[in-house]
Chains A and B, each alone.
Chain A
């Protein structure tokens, strides 16, 4: 008998699924749902119906006479059939042979941040997002498998197939527009991107419309940011510390602590307790078989916790796909954006150092100058942070327009031609003004200046590819891709300034023509760079068991001299699906895959000027008249070449209990060759500055581990994702004649370099003096001597640091410096937890590092030091005194004859392991008339940090590269805690 059954297929959110497949089991009888997810099928008695749709778990329903069978499909957590974008194409996940991590857009939007990269932290193993601090609009740095280049470690960003210029910040993207991130971590995966891929590649796919009814999503959230107060000494403690410092040195005290007239709390004066943050996004999408569309507009608005500094962003994105015929599809994306911001001044360093005895404002009677001169100058000449903030005037207006046109022509079922034109246009304008002011002779500006800087950037990319994909006799999968690409980048800027605006205080006069001073400056430049490329990739898979992948790319770049323009990069990889083998029978393990890969990629961001021995000019006077002078400005290196990275990757993917549990572990070795570094020669050479050199080869080894667990038990749903990674680089060789690379010279630590890289050792280690505690009495000082009885620290007094005489020569000098810390973490990683129970959902994002050292630079003054700057509250309890002999920090002295604070030592090195709750969000789903779904949430960002580190933020930047600045804390504006309320509506 024939029975007619009707129904609707919907997704987990009750949205209809068009084109879902309905099949009568064990027959060829089937149909698909229509635009509204509705279907009608005629089936036999006792039939079983299979409902399926790509990316969703299939469901089987036994027919028992129902007239209507409506069904809701659940997303397939296993995602085995997930499509992975691999550069100029895509394959199903089981054909991936190299190291590619995927992060879904839905995970990104849980964190409200100006930059989508913020939300990547800890979600993909081996991918670190180094925070740029707490300023609005700050752009964090994505680091894939550790920093191995000195040229910056920013990966190549490719948006919907368009390569973006090096250093592009992800700020311009609305996180809600992102379908997913694919991160190509190893060289074999990245080789298809050639000379720009040595730091890995981040492929971003934006959301596109799907066939079906128009869907509208509205997301709004708003909240406040707050900073945890840093407790500095008040007037009483400050006076006591300064007095003790002086009396310990045999001098008279300076202050009378019983007579406090001023006790300024600079934190309270400078920092605003609450700063607002708002994010809003509206998205509309849908489509028919012929036209699919997706459009969104968004607004993001963040203010800083300082009196100056804010960031606003407006974005739009409109993606349309036209199916012109069965064979031809045309897609057009348009994405305009506007960013507006005022840079947040870096006030923290001054705020920490200025003394509490200084008033914020001069008394009314002493004010003589303009409104920028009403701030009192501190006695210790630290700029008054409130005054500094008052004089900051800068505003940047940024306009960007991105267009992406794709034509897809299916020549045959197997052969496809793709053509793409991507345009990226940006314009920016910064207006700034520096008013005149006078606080004291060292802090004044006698002439004001108004600035306008503009820049324009126009890049375009042409990609043409031909792709052949076919499965032959069900066993041989073949995928060939060949293509050529042309990439042109044009940048120009114009900077102008003039001094002498007649009125400092009138905001309407802050433009160039309003100035009438003598000094007028204009400068500009224009640069162009073109890259022509050809590439080829072949994938062959046998019986879904053995998959081979090989790719090669040739890049010809205009930035290199003609005879060295072309570089060839390649990668090969192989995977073995063990679970597909006949012999492999397991009820528990449903996926077991082994991968091995090797490849080579390059980095072309070299400093071109480094090649030249250029002559600079200056001025000098004879007879009171000016003459031109010339001198050697740069000592060049004509043999400079680009860096290359070669790597090997080996990994295992595992899925158990129908992929409820997944695991992936990969081990890798990366060898970077011809690394560029600016080497500082001895000063007696008279060579100005540094010499750019290829300094040999570094090797980086590490592993990435990713564990996932997803389970539904009745109304309770659990999702866990744990990533753990480890990475350390060592120097295999350094260039001839150079035995060590030195970095981070610190003036107040004796103009010594605190970072060192030597052959055979971990790169960028901290170096300095090792301390052996604190001298408790003169006997200890006398017995800290060489074999022949020479006292090693004759100037020491009880309470001073004991330094190790490493070479046992009875003298404490620079020969006794040694490595004292390692900035690399033993492990870093993240844990993401998603819980759902009935209408509630809870998600948490944790991130942490373990075992890394940080050079805590502020601790060179926060616990005394030698200068009369403020100290952290409680210093008196932390410094040695005859009654506080177990103290960590040495005695108070200004003369510091022992050099406690004038040399780098392990006193300033701290373990900065930490665990941070970057995001926690609690949501509640409810319904309102007219809406399909409503969800309200409350969330907190960075609200909990567990660490033993004494600095303000253990998340220290990697600025300056691996050899140089990595792991040094310079008291940037710390990351704020953010509390938000939000609403998601869909209709």
Chain B
């Protein structure tokens, strides 16, 4: 095997090494990163943990806010992202010394910076303040084991600086050759920075950055909502940053595993994470059938877009709600053989234009520009044939933008972080939904008559009642990390 010190000798190897950083965006295996993202979704009002056969503290417990700090999924999420950061740090340190095309060198450095920022952003919004490592050299020093957690603001400083630098150097999507599609672009960096600004409540900056993307002319909404998530549909017009999963049985871990982990137990899936009736009601209350049928599959009903499945088996005896996420569902005729984890050519979309437009709407609203906010909101509703009330203003407009975000991006792993950052009178929305008096808990315990959810009590109806605002706005630091750092890395309060 080649040694790291001898490795960075050619352009091709430098490229391959940067490719290796991408491996960590979704992790190599299902449990490293995508399962933790699914668990995040389960910890919101959009998903149950779903699988009622296997009560597991490291999944079900977290979804119920009876959080098990030692969960493997916190551990692997933390570990996998830091491995990605180290890969990026190695690339940033070694590629400058390689004799190669200067344009490619600049691009590879920019890709590495984007990815490092992506990893730190995922970590900081999951765990809070972090130990910051920005070079590979420091790993060789004994003092590396003395790191402590830097304040959140310092992490965001690094993220912003990396993204701003990447924005300068990355190409536009239209400038990419076909074989490079899927690599990060200027638009991806701008979109991610917009999301970072939104999270930091830098409204004007978020609005400006989102505008850059929207006005770049590089992206457009898919005309049909149902086409956003499709097998073998890569880097579509709306896609800004996605993982191009593909099918090749000769290579492990190159396909998407979510259709299996998220799939119904009646349909060769594992049954983790099933949509709530609360989410379904949100669609129904808007009369939003176009997005509903492409978001939720229900037991006993046909699957939209899959002519083969006329009566879906949601296994309500083993599944809390008898519902499955349509966005990660693969129609029977489009499935690889054998149909198994990590072989499915369904892209995973991290950022798409609709997300950016809704960020733009939200940022505009909070920046005081209600008119622009409504225009962006209308763009999104127009596609799914919903009328927009242009008279909306104030809290009602804010709530409409938030609701639109929920419906448009449902089950795409954005919800938890949205609910943590969106605040009403300074209180994060997650705290209003969860907890003993939370509206979501109240709905399930006292109001819901959903035939599946109220019948299968394998997962208790009062999910979320243990939520504590003083603890649960971030996840716990993995205990392993506290042990390995001899206590230098401290635990978040309450865990």
Complex contacts, A684 vs chain B, CB 8 Å: 78, 82, 130-131, 133, 147, 481, 485, 489
Complex contacts, B83 vs chain A, CB 8 Å: 686, 688
Q: How far is the CB of A354 from chain B (nearest CB, A)?
A: 13
Complex contacts, A518 vs chain B, CB 8 Å: 249-250
Q: Looking at the complex, which one of A613, A751, A867, A894 makes contact with B72 (CB distance below 8 Å)?
A: A751
Q: How far is the CB of B95 from chain A (nearest CB, A)?
A: 12
Q: Is B446 an interface residue (CB 8 A)?
A: no
Distance in angstroms between the alpha carbons of A814 and B245 in the assembled complex:
39
Complex contacts, B17 vs chain A, CB 8 Å: 615, 629-631
Q: Is A440 an interface residue (CB 8 A)?
A: yes
Complex contacts, A623 vs chain B, CB 8 Å: 178-182, 234-235, 244
Given A624-B244, A686-B86, A740-B486 in contact, is the A681-B145 Cβ separation under 8 Å?
yes
Given A629-B23, A736-B142, A868-B55 in contact, is the A753-B483 Cβ separation under 8 Å?
yes
User: Across the interface, do B2 and A752 meet the contact criterion of CB distance under 8 Å?
Assistant: no
User: Across the interface, do B2 and A614 meet the contact criterion of CB distance under 8 Å?
Assistant: yes
User: Across the interface, do A685 and B139 meet the contact criterion of CB distance under 8 Å?
Assistant: yes
Distance in angstroms between the alpha carbons of A736 and B232 in the assembled complex:
52
Complex contacts, A745 vs chain B, CB 8 Å: 480
Interface-side segment among A66-74, A441-449, A831-839, A929-937: A441-449
Interface-side segment among A43-51, A309-317, A822-830, A895-903: A895-903
Contact residues of A between 734 and 759, Cβ < 8 Å to B: 736-740, 742, 745, 747-753
Q: Looking at the complex, which one of B19, B139, B345, B479 makes contact with A627 (CB distance below 8 Å)?
A: B19
| Closest B residue, CB atoms, query A379 | B53
Distance in angstroms between the alpha carbons of A884 and B133 in the assembled complex:
53
Q: How far is the CB of B6 from chain A (nearest CB, A)?
A: 9
User: Across the interface, do B86 and A749 meet the contact criterion of CB distance under 8 Å?
Assistant: no
Complex contacts, A381 vs chain B, CB 8 Å: 53-54
| Closest B residue, CB atoms, query A895 | B66
Given A751-B478, A813-B495, A902-B70 in contact, is the A615-B265 Cβ separation under 8 Å?
no
Contact residues of B between 173 and 224, Cβ < 8 Å to A: 178-183
User: Across the interface, do B55 and A685 meet the contact criterion of CB distance under 8 Å?
Assistant: no
| Closest A residue, CB atoms, query B461 | A251
Contact residues of A between 616 and 654, Cβ < 8 Å to B: 616-633, 635
Complex contacts, B337 vs chain A, CB 8 Å: 446
Q: Is A526 an interface residue (CB 8 A)?
A: no
Q: Looking at the complex, which one of B20, B72, B182, B460 makes contact with A622 (CB distance below 8 Å)?
A: B182
Contact residues of B between 72 and 87, Cβ < 8 Å to A: 72, 75, 78-79, 82-87
| Closest A residue, CB atoms, query B83 | A686
| Closest B residue, CB atoms, query A897 | B66
User: Across the interface, do B90 and A632 meet the contact criterion of CB distance under 8 Å?
Assistant: yes
Q: Is B284 an interface residue (CB 8 A)?
A: no
Complex contacts, B131 vs chain A, CB 8 Å: 682, 684
**Digit string of A918-938 for contact with B (CB within 8 Å is 1, else 0)?**
000000000000000000000
**Digit string of B56-74 for contact with A (CB within 8 Å is 1, else 0)?**
1110010010101111100
Complex contacts, A29 vs chain B, CB 8 Å: none
User: Across the interface, do A618 and B250 meet the contact criterion of CB distance under 8 Å?
Assistant: no
Q: Looking at the complex, which one of B3, B19, B457, B486 makes contact with A620 (CB distance below 8 Å)?
A: B19
User: Across the interface, do B180 and A622 meet the contact criterion of CB distance under 8 Å?
Assistant: yes
Q: Is B452 an interface residue (CB 8 A)?
A: no
Contact residues of A between 659 and 690, Cβ < 8 Å to B: 680-688
Given A441-B270, A684-B130 in contact, is the A629-B19 Cβ separation under 8 Å?
yes
User: Across the interface, do B268 and A441 meet the contact criterion of CB distance under 8 Å?
Assistant: yes
**Digit string of B319-363 for contact with A (CB within 8 Å is 1, else 0)?**
000000000000000000111100001000000000000000000
Q: Is B16 an interface residue (CB 8 A)?
A: yes
User: Across the interface, do A737 and B145 meet the contact criterion of CB distance under 8 Å?
Assistant: yes
Distance in angstroms between the alpha carbons of A254 and B459 in the assembled complex:
11
Complex contacts, A254 vs chain B, CB 8 Å: 457-458
User: Across the interface, do A621 and B16 meet the contact criterion of CB distance under 8 Å?
Assistant: no
Contact residues of A between 205 and 256, Cβ < 8 Å to B: 249-252, 254
**Digit string of A71-108 for contact with B (CB within 8 Å is 1, else 0)?**
00000000000000000000000000000000000000
User: Across the interface, do B251 and A380 meet the contact criterion of CB distance under 8 Å?
Assistant: no
Q: Is B152 an interface residue (CB 8 A)?
A: no
Given A621-B244, A687-B86 in contact, is the A752-B480 Cβ separation under 8 Å?
yes
Complex contacts, B16 vs chain A, CB 8 Å: 617, 627-630
User: Across the interface, do A615 and B484 meet the contact criterion of CB distance under 8 Å?
Assistant: no
User: Across the interface, do A446 and B182 meet the contact criterion of CB distance under 8 Å?
Assistant: no
User: Across the interface, do A895 and B61 meet the contact criterion of CB distance under 8 Å?
Assistant: yes
Q: Is A42 an interface residue (CB 8 A)?
A: no
**Digit string of B217-243 for contact with A (CB within 8 Å is 1, else 0)?**
000000000000000101100000001
Q: Looking at the complex, which one of A441, A613, A614, A628 makes contact with B269 (CB distance below 8 Å)?
A: A441
Q: How far is the CB of B177 from chain A (nearest CB, A)?
A: 9
User: Across the interface, do B133 and A747 meet the contact criterion of CB distance under 8 Å?
Assistant: no
User: Can you name 4 extra interface pairs (CB under 8 A) apart from A622-B244, A629-B19, A753-B480?
Assistant: A680-B484, A686-B133, A747-B70, A817-B483
Sample of 20 A–B contacts (CB below 8 Å): A250-B462, A251-B457, A380-B54, A441-B269, A442-B270, A446-B337, A518-B250, A615-B17, A618-B253, A621-B182, A621-B246, A624-B345, A632-B4, A632-B87, A681-B144, A682-B145, A684-B133, A686-B86, A815-B487, A903-B70
User: What are the 5 tightest A-B residue pairs by CB atom distance, in nearest-first order?
Assistant: A750-B70, A686-B86, A446-B338, A631-B20, A737-B142
